[in-house]
Every structure is written in structure tokens, then in C-alpha cells.
Homo-oligomer: A and B are copies of this chain.
Amino acid sequence: MYSEIHMPKGFKCAGISAGIKADGSKDMALVFSELPASAAGVFTTNQVCAAPVKVCREHLRHGVARAIVMNSGIANACTGSAGMVAAKDMAAESAKMIGCEPQEIFICSTGRIGPQLPLNKIVPGIGKLFDSALVSHVHETAEAMMTTDTRPKVSVAELQIEGKTVKIVGFAKGAGMIEPNMATMLSFITTDAAVEQHAFQAALKRAVDLSFNRISIDGDQSTNDTVLALANGAAGNQPLGETSKDWKPFFQALEKVCFELAMMIVHDGEGADKFVTVNVSSAQSDGEANLAARSVANSLLNKTAWAGEYPNWGRIMDSVGYSKAKVDENKISICYDDVLAVANGMRTEVEQEALIKVVSQTDFAINIDLHLGEGTATVYTCNCTEEYVRINVT
């Protein structure tokens, strides 16, 4: 499916089976840059976080990267000092393959919480990855990141900078359960643009806020969530900074890739078959709009009603009301797509059939207007089905 996609200049990638997953499916991936690349990263804010997240945070201070090496099957979370040693070994072994500093290697893990990494499988796996990465294997790389994802996730953007073609290729996984433990969101973004590291970090943070941070599957935040971005400059442009004339189109392309990957994650939400966009407008601030939108998106009663294709606007009113956003119930209006269901906090005369028609679609929007101020926010989410429970009972 992604076999036709080529990596940005100077990048190689690979996905192989190292025998970590019991079923023999792919479980290690490599994204490798032939040139030292500007590195940017955004990580889980969970206070309980995996060893590789701690190592990445440390390595990011260095600001330069040569490779991302990841495994699926085991999360290397809640593994104490032995887990930290294993994570550092994983980076050091990879650095040896390239002949670079360990700080230039970013590592990620996703899978079962608790067990230690099997270095006797990881180390040969690293060798196999670098052997395989003489050419690019985009599809296999995305595949190796998968856990209970039903499909690999890749997004591409291209733009012209100073007459040179700049490419961005991004990978993601999530939000599937892992071995069967934890939803983790991982994404790796590569570009051959030259980008100043500080500007790149700020751009990634902003792009993540506008994409990955706007999605919600079940409200549970993983110990391993990581987004990494590498810009290696192989396209030959002058390094981009925030004052460059090409900054805006570059940022937009970066944002597009992050956004597409984030939407792929929601579409692949565990057990989900509905994609729901929750828009909140006219809150007292963007922050308050976000609180209201998240409250609606995370409400189990809303998610189950969407599963039943039932336009239960009362539950939406309820979840807006118990959010921490200031609301005046007599001012709230709610549209299902463009069908007005609630005005001034009360049901309109609209036919129930018109609302059922909207929620029977696989993709619809809930548009909530608080009529209080200028704040807006959007959260992308999915429904909660019996299948979600079946997937997660172990």
C-alpha cells in the first residue's frame, strides 16, 4: 500500500521481525539519515513514562539525530534502572552501526508494560535493520510499528523551497492496544529540508498541538507517546528559520503530515466505526473551548450513543455542563452537522429523523456554540462499541 512511497533525500528506513512478538510479525523499525539531522521531539506528559522516553528527552538536548530505532511488543515501561540500561544499550548498539554518538540515536518502544527488553533479540535486530536499510522500505517500516492497528499509517507532503523540492514523510501508529496492554501513539516525521533546530522544535510542538493533541480515542494517555521529527538538509536549501520567507509553507506541510497521521489514528480507533468531529465555538477562550470539546469527546455516554446512531443531544448538554468551561445553559446551541438540534439550551422543532440521518453517517460533526465569547476548539474522536470492550478486556 505504501510501497511506492520514497523517503526524503538522504533517509532510509526498514522494518523487520526480530522475534519480540510471539507471532513472528514485524517488530523493529529503523529511520536512518545519511546526514546529521536537526531533531525535534514531543513526548507524553504522563508522570509514569517509559525508559525510551526518558532517554529521548535526554538525547534531544543534543539537538542532532542520525536515526530512530524502535521496537513494538514490549514498552520498556515500569522497568526501573534495568530498563534504562537496556534503552541506553539499544541506542549505543545503533550508534556503533553508524559510527556516531549514542545521543544521536532516538529510541522508542511500544507494547506490554513491565517486561524487560530482550536485548538478545534487539541487538541482532538492529544489525538486521541496518542491513535492510540499503534501500527504503516505507511500508515495512510502518508495518513494524503496528500493534493492534489494523493498517499502517504514512503521510507525505512535497513543496518547493528556493526552487528545490522538499519532501516530508511521516509514520504513525496507534491507537491500538498492545500485547494487550496500552494504547500508545508514536509518530516519526522525516524531511530533507534544512531547518534550524530551535525553529524545528517549536514548529513540531505547534503542529502536534494542532493534530495529535486534538484527537482522543478513550481518554487514556500512554506512558510511551512520542513524536520525533528529523530534518537532514539533503534537499540543499538554506536552513529554514521562523523568519525565512518559506517558513509558512514549510510549517503548513509539516502540519498537514501530522494532521493526516492523526486522522488516520482516529479512523483506526479500537473497535470504532464512526469518526466524530467535535467543534466548540464562542467559548470565553480557546482553552475553555478545548475543555468543553474534550469533555464531549471523552464522555462514554456520548461515545456509546454514537455507536447506537442515536442523536442523544441531552448527553452532549450534560457533558458540556460538567466540563470545566464556563457555560450558560440557556445560550447553548448544538448542530449535528448543519442540523440545529438545540437552541437556547432547548430542543428545536427539528424532526428526529433528520438528526438520525446525520449520526447514521460514518463521519459527522457535533457543532456546539456557547454564545459567550470568541474561543474555539476542535477535537477529533470516535465512537465506543462493544468491540472496544472486547479488545480491551485483557
Contact = CB atoms under 8 A, between A and B. Distances in A.
Interface string A323-362: 0001111101000000000101111000000000000000
A202 interface: no
Given A113-B314, A222-B318, A223-B318, 6 more contacts: A47-B322, A48-B332, A77-B317, A300-B384, A307-B393, A384-B389
A124 interface: no
Nearest to A302: B220
A307 B78 contact: no
Contact of A219 (B49, B180, B223, B300): B300
Given A114-B313, A301-B182, A346-B78, A318 B220 contact: yes
Contacts of A328: 47
The listed residue with most B CB atoms (<10 A of its CB), out of A317, A318, A392, is A318
A304 interface: yes
Interface of A: 45-49, 75, 77-80, 112-114, 180-183, 218-223, 299-301, 304-305, 307-308, 310, 312-315, 317-322, 326-330, 332, 342, 344-347, 384-386, 388-390, 392-394
B310 A394 contact: yes
Nearest to A112: B314
A389 B319 contact: no
Contacts of A112: 314
B312 A394 contact: yes
Could you say which of A78, A317, A385 has the most chain B C-beta atoms within 10 Å of its C-beta? A78
Nearest to A271: B389
B48 A346 contact: no
Helix, strand, loop or mixed for chain A's interface? loop
Nearest to A299: B220
B222 A48 contact: no
Contact of A318 (B113, B307, B321, B346): B113
Nearest to A301: B220
A294 B323 CA distance: 16
Nearest to A179: B314
Which 3 pairs between the two chains have the least Cβ-Cβ distance?
A: A308-B393, A48-B321, A113-B314
Contacts of A322: 45-48, 220-221
A278 to B, nearest CB: 16
Contacts of A346: 78-80, 114
B389 A47 contact: no
Contacts of A218: 300-301
Contact of A319 (B220, B313, B386): B220
B220 A312 contact: no
A46 to B, nearest CB: 4
B46 A80 contact: no
A392 B307 CA distance: 9
B48 A329 contact: yes
A300 B220 contact: yes
Contacts of A114: 313-314, 346-347
Nearest to A341: B114
Given A315-B181, A386-B390, A394-B308, A48 B220 contact: no
Contact of A80 (B47, B79, B344, B390): B344
A388, A389, A394: most-surrounded residue (chain B CB, <10 A): A389
A393 B318 contact: no
